[in-house]
Structures are given as C-alpha cells and as structure tokens.
A and B are shown apart, each in its own frame.
Chain A
Amino acid sequence: MIEVSHLTKRYGPNTALVDVNFSVEGSGVVGFLGPNGAGKSTTMNIITGYLSATSGTVNVEGHDILDDADEAKRNIGYLPELPPLYMDMTVEEYLGFLFDLKKVQKSKKEHIGQICRRTGIDQVYTRLIGNLSKGYRQRVGLAQALLGDPPVLILDEPTVGLDPKQIIEIRNLIKTLGKTHTVILSSHILQEIEVTCGRIIIINNGKVVADGTQEELAETVEPQRLLVEIEAPKAEVQESLKNLPHVEDSELMGEAEPGVWKFSLKECGDTRREVFQMCKNEDWTLLSMSGRHNTLEDIFLRLTNGTVDNRIGDRSGKSGNSKNVRSTVANAVGYTVPETDEDLAREQDGKADNDASVKEDS
C-alpha cells in the first residue's frame, strides 16, 4: 500500500510538485503518465526516499518514508529512470551487493537465481555490466528492484531500450507481478500503459489531473461520439438528426462524397438504432456509422495540453497527411494542438508544408 498525501516539492524558485495526492491499495499495476518534466520521476524519487518533499507525507505499507525510513525502504523495489548500475561489476557481483545492501533474509543463491530466470538475465550472469547491451542493463536494473521480493514496486520506464520481444516479455512479467504486488509504472509508451495498467494517474505540471481506470478517464474527458455518413438532402438530415430522442447535438463535418454528408453526433445513450430507423423511414442511404472511443492517447493529449475546442476536425480532408499523427489525433478529439507542440511535430516529421495544410483544413 502506498499513500501519498499533499506532496509539494520545490527546487529553489521552481515548483515541481503541487499538492499531489493519491493512494494505491492492494495489488495491481498503476500507470503513471505525464509529459516530460511533469514531475513523474520526482514523485517516484520521493516515494522511494531518494528525495524528500518540501511538504507532505509518503506512507509505504504503514511506514513513513522519513520517520521509519528503513522499514519503508525494505518494502519498496525501485527501478529508476537510469538503472543504478556499476559498470565495473559483473551481474553476479552487482546483484550480490544489492542483496546484502537490502539485507534480504533469504537464501542468496536461490533467490538471485530465481530473479535472474524471471528477468531473463541468467545467460549474462557472469558478464561485466559495462559490456552488456542497454536492454540487458535495463533488465539487470529490474532484477535489482525485485530483490527481496518487496510488496511495492516502483518502475520508472522499465521497457526503455528493449527490443519488441523483450518488451512483451517484460510487460508480461510486470502483469504477473501486478497480481501479487503493488506496481507503479511510468512510461511514455501509451500502448504499454493501456495493456498493463488497471488504473491510470495522469500528472501534468506537478499536479494530478486525472486518476481512474481508462474507461473512467474517457468519460470525464468527453462522451463518445457517433460518426455517420448519410446520402440525403443536407438540410433535412440535419433537422431530423437533431430531433432524434438520444442525440444531444449533431454537427456537420463536411461532404464525404458528392451528396454524402458526414455528421458527428453527441449522444446521451445508444442512438445507432434510431439513426438506422430514421434513414429507413425517410428512404435515405446510410453509408457508414462508426463510434469513436477515446483512446488513451486522446485522453492523455487532452488532459496534458488543456486547450479545448468544440469543433470536430474534418478527417476526410487529411488522408494525405496521415503521417502527422499528432495533429490527426488532436483534431479527432476536437481541440487544437498548441502552437509549440505543433512546431515540435513539424520539426520531428520534417513535414512543415503538410502541417500547414492540416491547419488550413481544420
């Protein structure tokens, strides 16, 4: 169990965390999400006792991280952003040292052997850490966190630098660990959080901006919308759609093909049957109907950028710019990407021209 209450951290004049509160009870994997510099690592460092908060308390398994530091630390396994490895030691020496350092009360050889098999480093056991690839180093770091089988695991970007096969292995390992341990996992890979974490905490500018399961977060961000394409006279369809009992609002998104109109419906319930019945009664052709769920990416971008725009972007006009995922996603969610982020995307993709056209389209 971890209880974080009213955590504030200042570095001189800079405030890294402002009144961060959350608690994690029982087993499970909690995803810790946030843009760079949001305070993820700072929070993790405070929970593990590497840093101290300016104010606020951290309680791990009933032990305060400051007053009862040794007991609290005994209950935490920590994999920092950069694994704390001694390059001039072999894996064997390193894990042996940390085993002693953490005062683990277990059979040394057996316990380390077990962890090495679990993390898949038994083949490099006798090699110098300095000679290992980044993926192996990361796994040695993970092995170090598992020493002593602590009930709480804090993993700061555990799959960085791994190849796809290893990523899947480590994710499965984390999922397995999540059944018996409390795991807090931070990652930039949203897909990873999506598949491994039951609960997600999003932090931005040092504040917790969302906390809940993905479904709960999706609800708070924006209700689901239904996208329909209907071949019919524009004004009439628009009027009829608005009159459907479960449609709160309908919005014309544009002409998908000549004579075919695309609408985005804001629902308060299930409207699919109503739309179909309407088309049937009026003898219009319903060409497509699709629900748009909020993906974690949508939620994340929405919550961490803050700018909300009610307009729904026209997706049909952007098929040529599919590479610019950020803008596409941003427009799909219905808000504009801030200038700076767009500049960033432009730099990354080298698609300055395309980007400009995206802007015009939306």
Chain B
Amino acid sequence: MGAVAKKELKQYFHSPVAYVCIGVLMALFGFFYTQVLISGSSSNISYVYSNMFVWCMLVIPILTMRTLSEERRNKTDQALLTAPVSTMGIAGGKFVGAFSIYGLAMTMSLIPAVVLSFVGKPNWGMIFGEYLGALFFGMAMTAIGIFVSSLTENPVIAAIGSLGIAIFLMVIDSVSSAVNNPVLSKVVSWISFSTRYQQFTSGTFDISSVVFFLSVTVAMLFLTSRRLESRRWN
C-alpha cells in the first residue's frame, strides 16, 4: 500500500493535476477569506468553509478521476495486480495518494487563519472543527471518486460520474424537503453530506457524522477492492 501511495503522490506532482487542484482551491479560499474578512468585515471564518464545501466536493472528482481508470486503460494495472499486493492495498494506496493532495490543500487553507492570529484572536476551536469536518467529507468523497474511477476505463467518464454523485449529495437536502414520505425524507437527509458537514461548521463535533464519513470511506474502498477483484473474472 505504501508503494502505491508514494507512486500516486509522485504522479500527482509530475502532472499539473496536483498544482491545478491545489491552486484552484487556494484561489477560492483566498477569495472567500477576502469576502468574509474584508468585504464582510466579519470574523466568522466558518462562512469561508461552508462556502468552500461546494468547491471541495467539485474538485475531488478531478483528483480521483484517473486513479484507476487510467491504470486500466494503459494496462499498467497488470503490474499492480500481478504484484504481491492485495486489491485492498491498491485501493488504499490510491486513496492515501489522492487524499494527501486534498489534505495538503486543506492544511494550506489554514495559512490565512494563522496570519489572522497575529492581528486578532480567531476562534481556533471552531476553525479546527471546520478543518476536521472538511477532511472527513473529503475522505468520503475521495473514496467515492476512486470507486467510480474503478468502474470505467475513461477518466473523463469517471470525472463526470463522480461529479454527478457529488452534486447529488449536495442538493439532496432540497430533495428531502420535497419528499412527502417522512421515512424517505429522513433517509435522504441522513445521507446528505451538507447536513452532516453543517454539524462541524456550527461548532459541534458530532461523533455520528464522523462515523458516517469514515464508514462511507471504508465501504467505498472495500467496493473498489471488490471491483478490482471482479475484473479478473470477466
């Protein structure tokens, strides 16, 4: 798993993908920090992160789109699958690689807050909560992206597929309010990423949300490893 993760990280920085994704996220963070702190004259940094939720969800599919689809297309998966590594190890390595890029971008988003601490007193507890929340939903979305990437040989289709899922997970709240059936509505809002993330932005560290995001991650990576396994049989 370590070898795959290391190789993934290297490849992200060999291609422009890592730079572009981190750069775009940084630019957006800069924009929202400016909006909140200067234009809005507010110190409510959680507003920055709740705005960034949408953009993060949209950038992650770009990071994960080629993880497994390209290996399949270039037949490099032959090296991976004939090496003494489990399919879970491959999926895990891919996940660690892609998530590291996202994690790096999120960590860098703390720089403005650090700068802020020189001139003021930001609410570090809340910022840290936001940061953790962003990492947790990022994990789940990365795992989903990797799973979608394992389904196709075409990175573009993988990107569109996981973008579709990301958008669905974001707009699901309005779906839940439109649904009359109370049980269905409950289920729909239960899987909503934004509702779960709002727990973090409102300053509560909700264990059930953490468990939810971690479960989605593990389940998706498990499905990915099953998918890699199943390719052998057809």
Chain A residues with a Cβ under 8 A of chain B: 11-12, 45, 48-52, 69-71, 73-74, 76, 78, 80, 82, 84-89, 93, 97-98, 100-103, 144
B 1-35 binary contact with A (CB < 8 Å = 1; else 0): 01110110011001100000000000000000000
Contacts of B121 in A (CB 8 A): none
27 A-B pairs within 8 Å (CB atoms) are namely A11-B234, A49-B81, A49-B232, A50-B82, A50-B232, A51-B233, A52-B233, A69-B84, A76-B82, A80-B75, A80-B78, A84-B74, A84-B77, A84-B79, A85-B74, A85-B76, A87-B74, A88-B15, A89-B10, A97-B3, A98-B79, A98-B83, A101-B3, A101-B7, A101-B79, A102-B83, A103-B84
A78-B10 contact given A70-B84, A103-B84, CB 8 Å threshold:
no
Given A73-B82, A101-B3: A93 and B10 interface contact (C-beta under 8 Å):
yes
Known pairs A49-B232, A101-B4 / 17 extra A-B pairs, C-beta < 8 Å:
A45-B78, A50-B78, A50-B82, A50-B232, A70-B86, A71-B84, A74-B84, A84-B78, A85-B74, A86-B11, A89-B11, A98-B79, A100-B6, A101-B79, A101-B80, A101-B85, A102-B84
Most interface-central of B10, B77, B83 (chain A CB within 10 A) = B83
**A81, B232: Cα distance in complex, Å:** 17
Number of A-B contacts (CB under 8 A): 73
Query: Which of B74, B76, B81, B84 neighbours the largest number of chain A CB atoms within 10 Å of its CB?
Result: B84
Q: Return the contact of A73 from the options B3, B4, B84, B232 (Cβ within 8 A).
A: B84
Whether B232 contacts A52 by the Cβ 8 Å rule is yes
Please measure, in the bound complex, the distance between the C-alpha atom of A232 and the C-alpha atom of B56, giving whole angstroms: 95
Residues in chain A near residue B79, CB distance under 8 A: 84, 98, 101, 144
- What residues of chain B lie closer than 8 Å to A88, measured between beta carbons? 11, 14-15
Nearest residue in A to B10 (C-beta to C-beta)?
Answer: A93
Within 8 A of A (CB), among B62-100: 74-86
- Within 196-234 of B, Cβ neighbours of A (below 8 Å) are at 232-234
Note all chain A residues with C-beta closer than 8 A to B232: 49-52
A253 to B197, CA, bound (A): 89
Bound-state Cα–Cα, A100 to B4, Å: 9
Question: Nearest-CB distance from B213 to chain A (Å)?
Answer: 29
Which A residues are CB-close (under 8 A) to B84?
69-71, 73-74, 102-103
* Alpha-carbon gap, A74 to B11, bound state (A): 25
Q: Which of B2, B78, B86 has the most CB of A within 10 A?
A: B78
* Distance A70 CA – B88 CA, assembled complex (angstroms): 13
Cα–Cα, bound, A176→B85 (Å): 29
**Which residues from B are CB-within-8-Å of A84?**
74-80
Bound-state CA distance A97–B4 (Å) is 8
Contact residues in B for A144 (Cβ distance below 8 Å): 79
Contacting pair B14 A89 (CB below 8 A): yes
Query: Contact: B82 with A49, CB < 8 Å?
Result: yes
Shortest A26–chain B CB gap in Å is 23
Q: Which residues of B contact A103 (CB under 8 A)?
A: 84
Interface centre among A50, A51, A102 (most CB of B within 10 A): A50
User: Are B82 and A78 in contact, with the CB atoms below 8 A?
Assistant: yes
Task: Give the complex CA separation of A48 and B79 in angstroms.
Answer: 10
Contacts of B233 in A (CB 8 A): 51-52
- Going nearest first, the 8 A-B pairs with the smallest beta carbon separation are A100-B3, A84-B79, A70-B84, A52-B232, A84-B76, A101-B3, A48-B82, A73-B84
